């Protein structure tokens, strides 16, 4: 929805006649309405991962029409943000606040030569200096490839800059008149230098930054299992049996306090364990040292999972963020989305990505902030495992699938028609602050264009299930795949009902989850007791954490890290009856510390004790 801004209103001469007085009153009323509308629209202060974007819909099979949007890059340039992603809609996006995004297109003069098929691109290298944004498409088809640049991407106008040899999953780092080009896909980590004045690769500038992982017996556990882990929360059944090498992907470099932080993703994109690890050095070409607090962006066990192949950037207030690939994998391993997480460098130079409750509403402050103090809103999930009914459903896609907190399952209406509905019973009157409607593509019409790729719906609330109030009316406003609505004011509701008006590309109405956030009206869970850890004696990359079942808990959060003051790893356990977790991602020889927290729709209770293995 566009933001209406009223500036420099009509300067009409004062007059005593009634007509002018009437006009002035009407202008005042209109100004009041427009200003009120602007305040309403601009009130949004939060996001909920995955980001609410107009993700493109692809796939050759009409019964498996997956959306592929991955390998994101965000650059801050002249007070605006620009987002580029793999295999999405082919252009890019622009934002003023990291919340609202506008779709942009490349100008026609560069589209054919700079983008693989003229529309979509793969794993782009994007970087900015004070004058230009530079873009390079890794498409594996042409070498040398064309670098393009723009002095004002908000206009969509780009121009050719220079040619460069292909590099897989590349990253550009600009410093001292050079582009350092990092190879990011598979094999050893490589870098070469490109002279921006001569527009050519500097001879003899290529170097190896990190070796290829060839011995799976000695690597860190977070490198385990390219494609082997897939949907697994635990790797217990695969213990001692990981055979495939990891696939390092998506190199990225940032500089902080004189240090260079080089990231790669591992073990492979088709897994909720997809994460980033970081190496630190004193020079853009190293030598680099892998850090003991790796991985830096673990996001496992929640609604989606994964936070790999990422880009770390500073916003215009000098806050750090990481934009990452999040994994869906319903139809194919390459079905992915985009998430945004705060980042902080502490006094010791350690890089921390805040993925704890990373799929719940979180603040995007339009000012300088400390993510230790401002991050998660504290709004809890009210919809997990709540009773759902529907107008109809397909076999195997029952209404309960819309409340299981799993993007890889979904409810689908039986019939392809408007006015199908799903109703959720929250189990009592709760305080609702935000809603995320996650649509799924079922039996879409592949012949329809992107202009028809949207959803229309109405959402109602009720305290008794009989008397309904229309809360959200998107019967005329386009909603996309992960429509997120932060309510201007909280509402009290015991029932949520959503009714479809139109489904994307004329498909069936289907929801992977109707997620409702706010505050419950019950008790906090009890603190988990008797926490213990057993490190595997045969392979210390594995450990088993155990705890006593917590009264009133809906799930658990296992926090751990290499130091007591840096429990940066988070694994969420959604099963309230589960009281143990097998962890496989540890670094050989590294000591770890653990804590188990309990949560429900009323809040989170931290574990009292930190246990060392």
**CATH number of the CATH domain containing 276:** 2.115.10.20
155 in the same domain as 236: yes
**CATH number of the CATH domain containing 541:** 2.60.40.10
Average pLDDT, integer, range 32-45: 50
Residue 39 lies in a domain: no
511 in the same domain as 451: yes
Q: Given 471, 486, 519, which residue is the final one in a domain?
A: 519
Q: Given 363, 393, 421, which residue is the final one in a domain?
A: 363
387 in the same domain as 336: no
460 in the same domain as 339: no
Give the angle 459-464-467 at the CA atoms, nearest 5°.
Answer: 60
Dihedrals φ, ψ of 122, to 5°?
Answer: -130, 135
Q: How far apart are CA 511 and CA 390, in angstroms?
A: 11
- Please count the CA atoms within 13 angstroms of the CA of 216 that sit on its side-chain side: 15
Output the pLDDT for position 240. 82
331 in the same domain as 458: no
| 3-class secondary structure, 431 | strand
244 in the same domain as 179: yes
Q: How far apart are CA 311 and CA 71, in angstroms?
A: 8
Average pLDDT, integer, range 455-463: 98
Top-confidence residue, 515 or 120: 515
Residue 157 lies in a domain: yes
Q: String of b and e for 259-298 (b: at least 16 CB within 10 Å)?
A: ebbbbbbbbbbbbbbbbbbbbbbeebbbebeebbbbbbbb
Q: What is the mean pLDDT of the chain?
A: 90
Q: Dmax of the chain from CA atoms?
A: 93
Q: How far apart are CA 356 and CA 299, in angstroms?
A: 8
Q: Tens digit of pLDDT for each residue in 509-521?
A: 999 999 999 999 9
Q: Tens digit of pLDDT for each residue in 377-402?
A: 999 999 999 999 999 999 999 999 99
Output the pLDDT for position 70. 94
197 in the same domain as 50: yes
**CATH number of the CATH domain containing 407:** 2.60.120.260
Dihedrals φ, ψ of 485, to 5°?
Answer: -125, 115
274 in the same domain as 300: yes
193 in the same domain as 131: yes
556 in the same domain as 608: yes
Residue 13 lies in a domain: no
Q: Which of 526, 582, 575 is nearest to 555 (CA)?
A: 575
Q: Given 363, 390, 424, which residue is the final one in a domain?
A: 363
CB atoms within 10 A of CB 187: 15
Average pLDDT, integer, range 472-498: 97
Residue 156 lies in a domain: yes
Top-confidence residue, 511 or 18: 511
**Residue 123 in contact with residue 138, Cβ under 8 Å?**
yes
- Name every residue whose Cβ is closer than 8 Å to that of residue 312 and which is 6 or more positions away in sequence: 252, 254, 261, 263, 320, 321, 322, 343, 351
Residue 137 lies in a domain: yes
140 in the same domain as 192: yes
* pLDDT at residue 46 tops 80: yes
Dihedrals φ, ψ of 353, to 5°?
Answer: -105, 125
Q: How far apart are CA 353 and CA 307, in angstroms?
A: 10
Output the pLDDT for position 61. 63
* pLDDT at residue 21 tops 80: no
In the structure encoding, which two tokens stand for residue 412, read together? 């689908």
Q: 542 lies in which domain range? A: 532-612
Average pLDDT, integer, range 132-154: 88
Residue 8 lies in a domain: no
pLDDT > 70 in the chain, percent: 91
Q: Tens digit of pLDDT for each residue in 515-547?
A: 999 999 999 999 999 999 999 999 999 999 999
Residue 369 lies in a domain: no
Among 35-49, 156-170, 425-439, which is the least confidently predicted range?
35-49
Output the pLDDT for position 38. 37
Enter the pTM of the model.
0.91
- Name every residue whose Cβ is closer than 8 Å to that of residue 227 and which is 6 or more positions away in sequence: 244, 268, 270, 271, 333
**Residue 47 in contact with residue 364, Cβ under 8 Å?**
yes
CB atoms within 10 A of CB 472: 19
197 in the same domain as 56: yes
Q: How confident is the model at residue 60 (pLDDT cuts 50, 70, 90)?
A: low
Output the pLDDT for position 66. 83
Q: Tens digit of pLDDT for each residue in 253-273?
A: 999 999 999 999 999 888 899
Output the pLDDT for position 24. 47
* pLDDT at residue 17 tops 80: no
Q: Omega before 530 cis (within 30°)?
A: no
Q: Count the domains in the chain.
A: 3
Residue 150 lies in a domain: yes
Output the pLDDT for position 63. 66
Output the pLDDT for position 59. 64
3-state SS of 246-281 is CCCEEEEEEEECCEEEEEEEECCCCCCCCEEEEEEE
């Amino acid at each position: 929805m566009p933001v209406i801004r009223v500036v420099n209103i009509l300067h009409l001469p004062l007059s005593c006649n009634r007509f002018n007085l009437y006009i002035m009153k009407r202008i005042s009323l209109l100004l009041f309405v427009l200003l009120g509308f602007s305040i309403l629209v601009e009130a949004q202060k939060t996001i909920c991962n995955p980001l609410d974007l107009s993700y493109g819909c692809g796939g050759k099979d009409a019964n498996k029409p997956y959306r592929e949007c991955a390998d994101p890059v965000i650059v801050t340039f002249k007070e605006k943000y620009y987002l580029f992603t793999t295999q999405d809609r082919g252009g890019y996006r622009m934002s003023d606040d990291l919340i609202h995004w506008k779709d942009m297109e490349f100008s026609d003069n560069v589209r054919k030569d700079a983008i693989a098929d003229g529309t979509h691109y793969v794993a782009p290298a994007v970087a900015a200096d004070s004058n230009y944004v530079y873009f390079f498409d890794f498409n594996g088809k042409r070498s040398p490839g064309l670098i393009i640049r723009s002095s004002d991407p908000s206009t969509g106008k780009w121009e050719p800059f220079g040619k460069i040899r292909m590099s897989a999953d590349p990253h550009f780092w600009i410093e001292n008149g050079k582009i350092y080009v990092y190879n990011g896909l598979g094999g050893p980590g490589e870098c070469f230098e490109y002279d921006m004045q001569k527009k050519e690769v500097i001879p003899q500038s290529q170097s190896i930054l990190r070796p290829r992982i060839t011995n799976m017996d000695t690597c860190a556990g977070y490198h385990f299992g390219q494609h082997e882990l897939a949907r697994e929360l635990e790797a217990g059944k695969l213990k001692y049996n990981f055979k495939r090498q990891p696939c390092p992907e998506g190199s990225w470099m940032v500089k902080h306090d004189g240090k260079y932080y080089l990231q790669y993703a591992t073990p492979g994109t088709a897994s909720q364990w997809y994460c980033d690890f970081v190496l630190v050095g004193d020079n853009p070409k190293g030598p680099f040292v892998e850090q003991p607090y790796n991985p830096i962006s673990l996001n496992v066990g929640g609604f989606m999972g994964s936070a790999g192949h990422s880009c770390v950037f500073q916003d215009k207030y000098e806050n750090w963020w990481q934009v990452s690939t999040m994994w869906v994998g319903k139809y194919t391993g390459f079905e992915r989305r985009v998430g945004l997480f705060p980042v902080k460098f502490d006094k010791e130079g350690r890089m921390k990505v805040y993925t704890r409750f990373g799929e719940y509403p979180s603040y995007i402050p339009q000012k300088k902030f400390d993510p230790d103090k401002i991050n998660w809103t504290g709004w809890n999930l009210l919809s997990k495992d709540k009773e759902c009914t529907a107008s109809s459903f397909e076999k195997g896609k029952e209404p309960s699938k819309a409340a299981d907190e799993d993007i890889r399952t979904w409810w689908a209406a039986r019939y392809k028609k408007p006015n199908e509905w799903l109703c959720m019973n929250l189990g009592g009157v709760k305080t609702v602050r935000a809603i995320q409607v996650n649509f799924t593509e079922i039996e879409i019409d592949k012949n329809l264009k992107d202009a028809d790729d949207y959803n229309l719906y109405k959402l109602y609330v009720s305290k008794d299930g009989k008397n309904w109030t229309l809360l959200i009316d998107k019967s005329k406003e386009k909603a996309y795949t992960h429509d997120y609505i932060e309510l201007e004011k909280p509402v009290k509701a015991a029932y949520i009902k959503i009714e479809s008006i139109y489904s994307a590309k004329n498909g069936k109405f289907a929801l992977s989850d109707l997620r409702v956030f706010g505050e419950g009206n019950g008790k906090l869970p009890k603190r988990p007791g008797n926490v213990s850890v057993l490190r595997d004696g045969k392979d210390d990359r594995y450990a088993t954490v155990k705890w006593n079942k917590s009264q009133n808990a809906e799930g658990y959060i296992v926090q751990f890290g290499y130091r007591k003051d840096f429990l940066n790893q988070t694994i969420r356990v959604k099963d309230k009856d589960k009281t143990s977790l097998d962890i496989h991602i540890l670094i050989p020889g590294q000591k770890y510390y653990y804590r188990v927290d309990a949560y429900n729709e009323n809040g989170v209770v931290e574990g009292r004790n930190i246990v060392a293995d």
